Chains A and B, each alone.
Chain A
């Protein structure tokens, strides 16, 4: 196979989690021989990104009406390139909580997605939504759950003894739902429990006000090393209001921490962890009190060493497979299961 040139489009607002996923993808040994990958920063509201010398162009951009002209130009200027889009942002819960003119929003997404050869969902739940809402042609839709290198997370010693420390990692933003977590934690009865919050953001002052004089709650500021953060905690809480995938859940499970997560969007893809219903203060109090008392049993042996080969294969498939593939078996069976469970 000859080396193909792949250009990833990101903009300045691209979230940290996306950049980490991209760093991992660029360094995947399984892709190195087949793909020459580059990252290109663009202004997504420009009229054009100019001519891009690439066989495959991968958009990591957030779609918007203002961003559509550039995507139309991109399609028109590169008729023979494969142009893919990875949907890192939009989900059902995002739409519910942030979009008032839903019809107009769906119209924008339909127009935007139609410009790509393939749209890649980051979770099965998100793909299910894209299909149910008829936003993407089924034949053009694929699911690839983002991966990062979990080796160091797996290497962390598993917690022992009684679970006592809860951690929350992420931007201090309305999306992450830490307000619910703090309110609920303040009402938990375990006085020796602690809640460590790793992250920074515009909600910091409001969250600190919510924490008030509860000395069990600590704000640790921006977290440069998630592994060090996980080392300090027994339980990882993810009370997100929306979450396209939720890589933190993967990392926490790899580190053998107890995971409490909201029943929303991509977090529904996780096969392990405790699901907490509906961002209710009461359900979070119950979930935390239950998890805090638990004794950790002997750690389960770590899984096989991660080599990223399966992940590389999935990407090779979308980068180099020109034909439109049949809808992935995973999506079909997920949708079928989901519908069965719902009956």
Chain B
């Protein structure tokens, strides 16, 4: 049995899958398996996966399309490792990522979720100069809710026992258990992390370093914005019965942080109208981001205002300066 399993959900990712798999095969921690879940792809994903399947470490599971959550759940069901990581098929792991997380989980038996920071790269795999550097220690459920330190779906390695602790089988499911809720097409990550935080006692803890290269695509935010907000609200509605007083206490602040996050995404894609609307909405919803993280909140507001008033040139100039 391999010590670790890495699940790669793959839906029409012929272009990026090879680089993701090369990076996983180059991991310094070798006692691992890679499970590619071909989620009903209609491009060349299946052929590419088949080419890589000659590696003894790679297994391919094929299914009719079930979405990201459904592909990850299939991967979890197939995983044999005591640690399970996820790497979406357009992201890259740096070579010592898995070794670092396995060492962390071995040394800290109460930790169920080990994550790290990420470097954001563009469509061509070039660094954007932006990174996710989350808090690493003292992570409470409130922190997960407000700041989602895991950041993206390719950042964390889980103890299989922690995933098993939240697994369930909906009445209509005949194949295998659900860990991620497949009825979510967005916010499936935070929904899962929050269920881990509110129904299990496994600790979330980070390790230093930017160990994932997380790809952000430039366009397409505004179309997805309403859906993204709606799915976040659906997550809150779904999970509130678990702990109503927790949500009473933290919901507004978490919502404000969510608006601020989307405002920053809008700034990145140079969408001034949405950026300003979201940034101001964040401030109206709760003062907590301004009190808890004044610098980041003010910078977000300022960048949104400049972008809306003056267009993208000053922001692009500033980010070029910062990237130097």
Contacts and interface: CB of A to CB of B under 8 A. Distances in A.
A304 interface: no
B241 A133 contact: no
Contacts, number: 55
A281 B195 CA distance: 15
A277 interface: yes
Given A95-B201, A99-B201, A100-B140, A106 B110 contact: yes
Contacts of B197: 96
Given A92-B200, A278-B168, A102 B241 contact: no
Contact of B141 (A100, A263, A277): A100
Contacts of A96: 141, 197-201
Interface string A76-116: 00000000000000001101110110110010000000000
Q: Which of A96, A263, A278, A286 has the most CB of B within 10 A?
A: A96
B306 interface: no
Majority secondary structure, A binding face = helix
A53 interface: no
B167 interface: yes
A295 to B, nearest CB: 21
B242 interface: yes
Contacts of B220: none
A335 to B, nearest CB: 12
Nearest to B240: A281
A102 B168 contact: no
B177 to A, nearest CB: 9
Contact of B198 (A97, A133, A180): A97
A148 B165 CA distance: 30
A107 to B, nearest CB: 10
B162 to A, nearest CB: 10
A206 to B, nearest CB: 9
B161 A241 contact: no
Contacts of A243: none
A179 B244 contact: yes
A174 B203 CA distance: 24
A280 B241 contact: yes
B56 interface: no
B324 interface: no
B199 A278 contact: yes
A174 B248 CA distance: 14
Nearest to B205: A103
A263 B168 contact: yes
Given A96-B197, A174-B245, A177-B241, 10 more contacts: A96-B141, A97-B198, A97-B246, A100-B141, A133-B201, A179-B241, A179-B244, A277-B168, A278-B195, A286-B171
Interface of B: 109-110, 140-142, 161, 164-165, 167-168, 170-171, 195, 197-201, 203, 238, 241-246
**8 tightest A-B CB contacts, nearest first:** A95-B201, A342-B164, A180-B241, A100-B140, A277-B168, A279-B241, A96-B201, A92-B201
